[in-house]
Structure 1
Amino acid sequence: MDPRFATLADLVIDVAREIRIRGAVPGPGVPLNQTQSQVMRYVHGHPGCKASEIADHTGVKRANVSAAITELRELGYLTSRKDEHDGRAVRIDVTPQAVDTLDRLRASWSAQLSTAWGGDKTDLDQVIARLSALLEGLR
């Protein structure tokens, strides 16, 4: 085992926790749990997706995805509609409220990271590329 990967894992987990703790923005509803957050972010990036796609791409169990969709619908963040080509399929979309909330969260996260990063951003693209590759490799 390369101990640097254990250190990297600890750092990624800690950075994500810090962003989540400090990134709260005022808005309707209650703070989202991790599953709800993953589902909402996936749907935001993949409008009209199905619950099975969310489960496949996020690694969240289908039953948990379904529960999160129900909860997010009740909070006014998601809508569901029948697929126009397949009446059995249900497509999921974010609401304008969800888009606004995600935009405000992303702005907060961006501001936090920009401040914490400091002045020299020359290696930012390289860090983004490596973290993206790590995420894809984990999926």
Structure 2
Amino acid sequence: MPSDDAVLADLADLILNVGRLVRARTPDDAPHVVPMTETERQVMRVVDLYPGAAPSEIARRTRLQRTNVSTALRSLEGKGMILRTATDGRGVAVHPTELAETNLQVLREGWTRELSGALGDDLDAVRQCADLLSRLERHLTS
């Protein structure tokens, strides 16, 4: 029986590998799928989870350098994925666009097809796993 530390390390390794495998099977040539770099994906994840976040909050939540976030935001804005709006003072709020929402919907449909083929009808276990991973994500981005 593996130790508690080994179980946690194995979980982290599996999360990374499964994420890589799902991404490799994601159709990036489908209509409405905008190709993105890994940094852009991380930034979009935070923008989707926290619409209206400031660039500094995005950098904090992604654990990326502010300059890398700024570069990704410029690129995402150029791709039509985000809209930056001025807030009180000199602040900026970042919001996903309709294109970003369509892009995410197409990706989610592909992920659903991929995972349903592998996991079948065991939705209770999937919900438990999703809850666990959501809790982990909230902790890591707080």
The interval holding the TM-score normalised by the smaller chain is 0.7 to 0.9
C-alpha RMSD over aligned residues = 1.9
In 2, distance between residues paired with 1:56 and 1:5? 24
In 1, distance between residues paired with 2:132 and 2:32? 35
In structure 2, the residue matched to 1:7 is 10
What is the CA deviation profile of residues 52-96 of structure 1, one whole-angstrom value per residue up to 9, with x for unaligned ones? 11111121221111000001111111121211x22x111211221
TM-score normalized by structure 2?
0.85
Corresponding letter in the other structure for 1:94: P
Structure 1 gaps, min length 5: none
In structure 2, the residue matched to 1:41 is 45
Q: Secondary structure at the match of 1:124?
A: helix
Distance 1:31 1:95, change over 3 A: same
Corresponding letter in the other structure for 1:20: R
What is the CA deviation profile of residues 1-25 of structure 1, one whole-angstrom value per residue up to 9, with x for unaligned ones? 7222222122111110011111124
Contact 2:32/2:106 (8 A) holds in 1: no
Aligned length: 137
In 1, distance between residues paired with 2:130 and 2:34? 30
Contact 1:79/1:95 (8 A) holds in 2: yes
In 2, distance between residues paired with 1:61 and 1:30? 23
What is the CA deviation profile of residues 75-118 of structure 1, one whole-angstrom value per residue up to 9, with x for unaligned ones? 111121211x22x1112112211111111111111221122112
In structure 2, the residue matched to 1:138 is 140
What is the CA deviation profile of residues 24-52 of structure 1, one whole-angstrom value per residue up to 9, with x for unaligned ones? 24246852111101111221222222101
Query: Within 5 A, what are the aligned runs for 1:51-130?
Result: 51-83=55-87, 85-86=88-89, 88-130=90-132
Quick one: percent identity of the two aligned structures?
Answer: 36
Structure 2 gaps, min length 5: none
TM-score normalized by structure 1?
0.86
In 1, distance between residues paired with 2:51 and 2:7? 37
Quick one: which of 4, 20, 23 aligns to 2:26?
Answer: 23
